[in-house]
Every structure is written in C-alpha cells, then in structure tokens.
Structure 1
C-alpha cells in the first residue's frame, strides 16, 4: 500500500449531500479534493421525491445526487467508490486515510459519511422503500396530506413525527413495541391529546403490505391497519468505528463539532447527519458541507 499513495489537499469521506457540496466548495477554493464514497448520494439517493429543495418544485433524490456529482467532477474533484477503513494523524500533521485498496494523504479531512436509519427488517420494507415506506417524516410527511399513516417508535423522534403528521394526515397509527413510551412527558401528553392519533402499545409491525405502494401493515397482535404510508422512527446507526478513538463523540455516537464544523482533532472537519448539529435536513447538510470546506481552506492556509 505504501507504493500506492495519492496526495490531496482535502479528502472527504462520504458521497451524500454534505460530502458532494464540500467537494464543490473545496474545488472552487483551489483545493485538490477527493471524495471517498461507499455509494453515491447516501440517504438522499433513496428519496423518491424531494419537495423542499429551493428552485425545484420536485426532484428525485438520485437525480439531485447525480447533478451534484457532475458539478463536483466538472470542477476537478475526484470521486472514488471505496470503503475507508483507517484514519491516522501523521507526524507531519497531515492525515492518512486508508481504504481496502489505497492510501491517501491529505492536509485536511472532512467526514460526511452520515448515518443509517435502523430498519424493521420485515417483509415489504425494502420492496416499498420510497413507495410509502420512509425514514424521514420531515422529508416525506407532506406527501401524505389527508391520508392514513403508521409511525413506528416510542422515543421523542416518533412522538414528534406523530405530532407533526397530526396536522397533515387524516389518521395516524403510532406503534410501539413496549407498553410505555420512552419520550419526554410533555411529548407523550401532546400525543395523547390529539384526536387523530391512535396508539398501539406492545405491538410491532410484522409485515408491510402493498404491490406498487403501501396499502397496509400487519401487527404482532393480529390486527391489520389500512395505511398509505409507514414512517420508521426507531433511531439511527452512526458508523463511528473509524473515528471513535481519535475524535470526541457524544452519547448518541455523533461526532461533536463547533460552528465551523471543526472536530476535536485539528484539520479534521465533519458535516451532515453524523454530527451533533440539530435539524437534519438536506439543505442544512449541504450548508454544513460548504462550511466544512471553507474551514478546511482556512486551516490549510494557516498551517501549511
């Protein structure tokens, strides 16, 4: 691997909206950048219809990801589809990023590999993803105006999703596998006060029905609910094994950053859903990616 080393001003791990935006801004600042991505677009690429992207009434997530990729490459960014397996700060303050195939040396590093929503692992979930099954109520909630939906989970995310959807959907079925919610008390009381929310405690979805779109769900208690959407709000998995030994991580497994997207390790920045910043939205991830790139530029100017 030592004979196959490539050098960059900035290496970006993650090919979602934050990472692609970071590469665009890095290139525009004259930085030689590399994006290491397991896949193009991240969670954005799995969204069938994005309706809150400025300037576009509606756009497919995979299409938007391709537009971002093309723009970055046109500016000179390199994108490689590999898995990063090790990050190391070197004695000369540069940073080594190793993949299964190569080693890359960078003056700065931007982490933007996001996080993965926990899945139910039930029949119909994968087949109907983007066809009524969603992991983002803020992204897809407005698509279900005056419709019936199921929301799975018992924490603040699920409770907040139910409250939000109560003003959009006709009927909400909130399904939790335990006999008590684990969210904050004021959220629980709010849910209980809303007449179009029905709770199903000590229950789990065992199957999501539908051919081309969601038509209903089957529960472990034998009930079948007729719904047109299923929002899975049971948390996320952050793949922090790459950085847990070198960066400050909060109790939720998220990378801690400041207002400049800087992490606890000089020269390393982070953006998007893997950070502890609030409001995980597509446009906010892009803004954080831009901030990270500009901060990386300033860091390189001062240190190298």
Structure 2
C-alpha cells in the first residue's frame, strides 16, 4: 500500500495558516503547511510592535509570529518550503504543484496566502517602513497619539483610517491624488466634518523625507508637509493569481467565503486576509484559520463516514 494522503494542505504560514494548522492537529488531522519563505510567519513579522492582540500588548510582530509557529510545530504540523504554482482537484483529491515541480496532495485545502499592500513606489517609502511609514492605522496608530499623521489614499480604507486616527492624533492629513474620492460618501462627509482632519485633494506625494525616521512628505508641487507618521492606504493585492481557473474569487481577487471559510468548491476553504471581509487584522486572520480548520475537519469526517 502507498503512503496515506494527508488530510489537509494549508497554503500560507501567516497567522491564518498557522492557526488553521493548530486547530486541525487538535482535530487529529494530518496537516502540511506550504510556506513561501523558510520559517515564514506572514506580514506580521514586518510589524515592529503589535498593540492590539489581546493579552500581549506591545509584543513585537516577529516574536508574535514565532509564537504562532512554535505552537503549530508543537502540535505536530509539518512544513514544506515552496511556492504554490497550480491547484486542481483530481480523483477526489486536491493537488498542488509547487514552482519547483513537486506535486503535493491532500483531501482538503485551506488557502491562506494573504495579501500584499500596494506601494507608492517613491523615494523614502521602503527606507522608513516601520520607522514612520505604516500600512495599518489600527495596528500602529496608537504610536502617534497627540501627534500629526498623514493618510495617503482615496478609497474606503484611507478615509476609515483617517477617521480612526482623528480620535488619536492631534491632526490628520488625508491626501488623495485626485479630486474625487472612491470612498463611501457618508464616510467622506464625516471626515470633512472632523475638525482635526485636513483633506488635500489633487495632491501627489513624490517622496518621504527623514533621518532616522520619517519626518516629512514632499508633494509634486514642491510642498513640504511635516508629519510624524504616514499611513499608506492605497489598497491591497490578494495573492490569488493561481486561483483564477478555480472561479472562487470576486472581481477584486478575494476568495468568496463566509466566516466558516467554506467556498463553492468541495474541500476548498479560504482564510485570513485573502478572504472577502471588512477587517483584516491578526486576530481576524487567526479566527478565520480556526473556523476553516474546524469546518474542514467536520466535512472530512462526514466524507469518511460515507465511504465506510
């Protein structure tokens, strides 16, 4: 007899994937996690400090990610380094071809590859990332209490971030390169009504200036705007290119799945930032992973009972 097919293959080793692995092992499933980077723990590793994960205020993002991973390893989750290149279902099993040609298979898949933040691609952005330049107001906004922050973007995420920061910061600059915002009219009206939010329309940021940390924004019309913190809110790109043929994503590329993680495809679940939802945080990613793993375990148990 050949080697038994693993119960669950998890694509992605961020908080969603690692939590899914923990819950799946606790349900006695055999689990394999595919990680793009060796000992990767997702975008959380890029956060210098996390202040909103319950019970662990002020923990470093790298440290928190390592704790997730250590827990998964302790539970017996196995890891494979590689980048998923193609997914398909064949003869009742899910198969995953890695970019190096290896093919993995499992009875079910949880896809938790996450997203990447869109970048401005201007001088200073990468240099001061984590040192005044951020991509999550809810994660890092508290560091700028009673200080000046800038939010760059014109969609819902940018306006919502500006509103959130208005309750923390002395002043918030909401900077958009166009006249018209894409954000909901109601949110924009609320931002316009906030005394400490200044909206700068038709303003293009050309570079970020600083020494040891970001200190100012320069615009294309040669204005220097002193700020303490900069939040780039110009959208995210879900890592779902390989899912196009499976028809499980919406028009923006996010996996169409509810809070259980279930999709329209049998044995295929979505979890974490890559799923359609309103709030993308470490805690919601972990919750997604737990929900998807529990549902996958239940579905696999029912399938096994039918086969017996």
Q: 1:223-275 deviations in whole A, cap 9, x for unaligned?
A: 01111111011111112221122132222221011342111101011111111
SS in structure 1 opposite 2:65? helix
Cα separation, partners in 2 of 1:150 and 1:22, compared to 1, 3 Å = same
SS in structure 2 opposite 1:249? coil
- TM-score, L = length of structure 2: 0.93
5 Å-filtered alignment, 1:99-248, equals: 99-101=98-100, 102-248=102-248
- TM-score, L = length of structure 1: 0.95
Partners of 2:225 and 2:129 in 1: how far apart?
A: 18
Maintained 8 Å contact 1:6/1:104: no
Q: Which portions of structure 1, spanning 4 or more consecutive aligned residues, are displaced by more than 3 angstroms?
A: none
Maintained 8 Å contact 1:171/1:197: yes
How much does 1:290 deviate? 0.7
Q: 1:110-160 deviations in whole A, cap 9, x for unaligned?
A: 000111110001111111111111111111111110010110011111111
How much does 1:90 deviate? 0.7
Maintained 8 Å contact 2:137/2:231: yes
How much does 1:81 deviate? 2.3
Partners of 1:292 and 1:140 in 2: how far apart?
A: 28
Maintained 8 Å contact 1:247/1:265: no
Task: Say how many residue pairs are matched.
Answer: 299
**Is 1:280 aligned to residue 280 of structure 2?**
yes
Look up the match of 2:29. 31
**Is 1:94 aligned to residue 93 of structure 2?**
yes
User: Structure 1: any 5+ residue segments left out of the alignment?
Assistant: none
Partners of 2:179 and 2:70 in 1: how far apart?
A: 49
How much does 1:211 deviate? 2.5
Partners of 1:275 and 1:259 in 2: how far apart?
A: 9
SS in structure 2 opposite 1:244? helix
Partners of 1:47 and 1:190 in 2: how far apart?
A: 29
User: Structure 2: any 5+ residue segments left out of the alignment?
Assistant: none
Look up the match of 2:13. 15
Partners of 2:225 and 2:115 in 1: how far apart?
A: 30
